[in-house]
Structure 1
Amino acid sequence: MNNPFDINEEQDYEAALNAVESVVLLVDDQPIFSEYIRRILHEEKNIQYHYCSAPSPKKICQLAVEHKVTTILLDILMPNISGYEILRSLRKVKEIARIPVIMLSSQDCAEMKARAFAQYANDYLVKNPDPKELVARVRAHTRNYLALLELDRVMAENQQIQADLDRANRKLLAVNSQLQQLSVTDGLTGIANRRYFDAKLEHALNANKRQSDCLNLLLMDVDYFKQYNDHYGHQQGDKCLKMIAKVLEEYSVRTGEVAARYGGEEFAMIFPMNDEPQIRRVAEKIRVAIAHLKIPHAKSDISDFVTVSMGICTVHGGSGATAEQLIQASDQALYKAKAAGRNRIEIGYIS
């Protein structure tokens, strides 16, 4: 198909029109008039001619699709059905609805013209049209029709490109989101890693400076974990850490609560709670829940099962405490819990 926009500087307007391949379908019940049109178009280059004497919308649609018609010449006055009715039918068929239709009549009647254009005709010609005028109108309508098809093609292509870009962007966003999640997730346990914990603690402390609520940090260590690994092996040790992390995850579901693997067998949790007794009660529930896992520990000096020790520190709203101070106080409390026999909770304070 020739591109109707492809006009070189050397080509004039008429040459550009002549270069467009036109396919004409005449719908008329008079063979004599058909022969008149055929002779006019036969003398022209790049114009194919087809004739339909049976005024059936179905037949016209079939021929238009089969021959890739670019312009239809449609007689208004025909037996049994008018050109207006045929035109209305053609405009309802998606495949051919936009093909230009030139209505034909033996009458140069303004009312008939107005009615034709009201039915979405593209043009109106009085029989028998001047050959040059007929050819010029056919070529002009064909050019505009092909230009419309080309525009449709380009728009569809652009839509497809945009759809492909949208899909690629969604995939990229999904991959970036996955990478972002991986960057803040502990690879073994699936809970937050140290990097995420550090960022969340800083954020929580900054918010705490402007609020009246307390902020609590809990550091937890698995008792005699080195001995556990030495006895059961690192694979079983990893499984143990995963089971403990699952418990911590179940106790950190509210807004602002964070459970993270702090390093090795050590875990950390952030709790925005109102007072020290409340965080102590939550910590005790966690300690008991881990004990109830009943993970065998033959090398523990204090229990037949895996236990944990915890150190907690609470800062009040507006205190201005730093992450370093809060971690140090919690770590000291954790050390105190270990020194006092393990499998227990101790409270630390910022000095």
Structure 2
Amino acid sequence: MNKLSCFLTFSALTLMAAGAAAASCDDALAQLRSAISSDSTPGLLSAFDMVRSAGCSEETNRITMGQVSAALATQAQARVAAGDLTGAEEALTHAPSLHWAVQAIRGDIAAKRGARGEAAQMYNAALDTITDPALTPPNSRLVPVADRIARLAQENMMLSGNLSASVTRGGQASGVLKSAMRGIRIEKAATVQAQTEGKQENEYQSTTDLYAGAPKENYVVADAVAAAVNAVYLPVRFASGSAEMDADGLREAETLANFLLKNALHKLTVVGHTDDVGSDAFNLDLSLRRAKTVRHFLQAKGVHAEIYVEGKGEREPPALVDYAVYSEEERRKIARRVELVLHE
């Protein structure tokens, strides 16, 4: 059982009758616990209907909505593993609330079908949901799950050849790019705190926006993912063996330029990588030339940030979530990436 399955099982079975005053509510919750254990979708939905009509408190109903969604995601995940993608999709259609697990399993289904763009959208959406304490109660047990979702989002963005899953039409960051942006805000807050040590008012000011006035513990998952996403994979494509961007690469570089212009970032690094085809020396040189091509393009578009470039060649292949699920060409496609590293 993987980390996602373990956490979903734990959360689905931890039903709490928040403010349950009537015996009928307690009875309905007991029925729901039993339905979750039985792994029957019709039984689960029937028990959930009983809870909603049993006069339970609003808070109890809210909690059970999330837990039923988690239970349905667990059922869908088992069907994905068995190859029943249609059955998995059907189970998820009954989820009564927005839940990161439902979004993540939808990503799994899309990935299994080869719909990489949809998978990237779902994984990035799941990452936004799981790191938002207003949508998902903070729990340190979610950190490895969120990290896995972030990596799957990166991998599928590369395979889809599209950055749109992590950049909104208005140029705002979402998903992995949003986590990377949070990372530089954390760095900035730490710098301000170090510079104003002993000055409580300034120290508070540096963290107010970062934690929205809430306890830092509420953002344990968001902060952990922000620390882990130290580079964003950019699906900027080039002609084979060349540092010249192809049509798709130009489109994605344009998306990146617009994002950087809207967000007024001051410092960043562009890192080129290649696959393992060709000599080490050739790939090292090619990766650096590709990084320089991206820098030149961004500067020509009016990006005034300080842009550093590096070339890693084939020496730092991506650490994939599961190598076995990709073909050799897909693994190489992910490896042929340009990384964006943001700095405070």
More helix by share: 2
More strand by share: 1
